[in-house]
Structure 1
Amino acid sequence: MSGRLDLDRETFDGIVEHARSDTPYEVCGLLATDDGERVTAHYPVPNSARSMTYYNMDPKSMLHAMNDMDDHGWELLAIYHSHTHTEAFPSPTDVELAFYPDAVYLIVSLQDAESPVLRAFNIVDGKITERVLTVEGEAAAAGPR
């Protein structure tokens, strides 16, 4: 498991656009990879909880995304969601519900709507480790390191 994650500009912009699309509610989605490092596909998944404080991926949409990954021989790279009013850091609920230890967890904060912050984490056995996140070779807007 690498200590960094490189995103292309299109994926970064897509995640931010998705986060803004349903403000003030949290959004969520999945990123797939075919090589364990770069994003191959982006799957926005409806937040069936329709909540400002947590997300629950719509089961049918999530299953469709996972089946599509399987059909293409891709793997789950990352799970993302937004925080509309708080920093881009895993909440206790995010940690409790981190069921995919091999996935990167991305959180985009819209706390400052004009300057969204995207951060990447590994969450394994309740332990949070931040990854270095870059967007097309430049460090992404990130919170405290």
Structure 2
Amino acid sequence: MLTIHTKLVNAMIAQARQDHPIETCGIIAGPVKSNLPLRLIPMRNIAQSEDFFEFDSQQQLQVWREMEQRDEEPIVIYHSHTHSQAYPSHTDVQYATEPQAHYIIISTDQTYEDEIRSFRIVEKMVIEERVRIVKTYQSDLELMLA
């Protein structure tokens, strides 16, 4: 299960709406091994595509170095689907390289507008997980046990 603050969810939705019809993308960093998403980092979709996203490699290198210096990791990797439901495409599964991360997809398609779903993608297997949106985080210990 992913527990995530409502402010982070609102920020992802706002970014997805702003970037529509281009797929939006980004990460939410948190302390290593905490499963606690804290710091939203919007990323550039270098592909500038309506049905594909790709992090700008220069920006990704910079962000990953910064996370390492701050003892953080990508807790959430998110992007939008502009013409379909919030479910990983074949390409999404192929490019999923962070097995510890939650992969959030936000649909900006009119049929599924603002649908948010989270998945674990490990060794090309997709497992949907529950998303719990909260206004405050519980203690770190309670979150790690959840």
Work out whether the TM-score is over 0.5. Answer: yes
Partner residue of 2:25 out of 13, 25, 28: 28
8 Å CA contact 1:19–1:26 kept in 2: the answer is yes
- Is 1:101 matched up with 2:110? no
1:123 is matched with which residue?
121
Name stretches of at least 5 consecutive residues in structure 1 with no aligned partner: 138-145
Identity percentage over the alignment?
31
Partner residue of 2:42 out of 26, 44, 47: 44
SS at match of 1:10: helix
Distance (whole Å) between structure 2 residues aligned to residue 42 and residue 100 of structure 1: 17
8 Å CA contact 1:105–1:122 kept in 2: the answer is yes
Distance (whole Å) between structure 2 residues aligned to residue 77 and residue 67 of structure 1: 15
- Is 1:7 matched up with 2:43? no
SS at match of 2:92: helix
Residue 52 of structure 1 and its aligned partner are, at CA, apart by: 0.3
Runs of 4+ in 1 over 3 A off after TM superposition: none
| Greater mean alpha carbon deviation, residues 120-129 or residues 35-44 | 35-44
Q: TM-score, normalised by structure 1?
A: 0.87
SS at match of 1:88: coil
Distance (whole Å) between structure 2 residues aligned to residue 16 and residue 108 of structure 1: 7
1:143 is matched with which residue?
none
RMSD: 1.6
Q: TM-score, normalised by structure 2?
A: 0.86
8 Å CA contact 2:84–2:112 kept in 1: the answer is no
8 Å CA contact 2:119–2:127 kept in 1: the answer is yes
- Give the paired residue count: 134
* Structure with the higher helix share, 1 or 2: 2
| Greater mean alpha carbon deviation, residues 113-122 or residues 98-107 | 113-122
Measured at CA, do residues 73 and 52 of structure 1 come closer, stay the same or move farther in structure 2, by a change above 3 Å?
same
Residue 37 of structure 1 and its aligned partner are, at CA, apart by: 2.2
Residue 115 of structure 1 and its aligned partner are, at CA, apart by: 3.9
**Matched residue type, 1:90:** P
Q: Deviations over 1:47-70 (max 9, x none)?
A: 000000100101111122112211
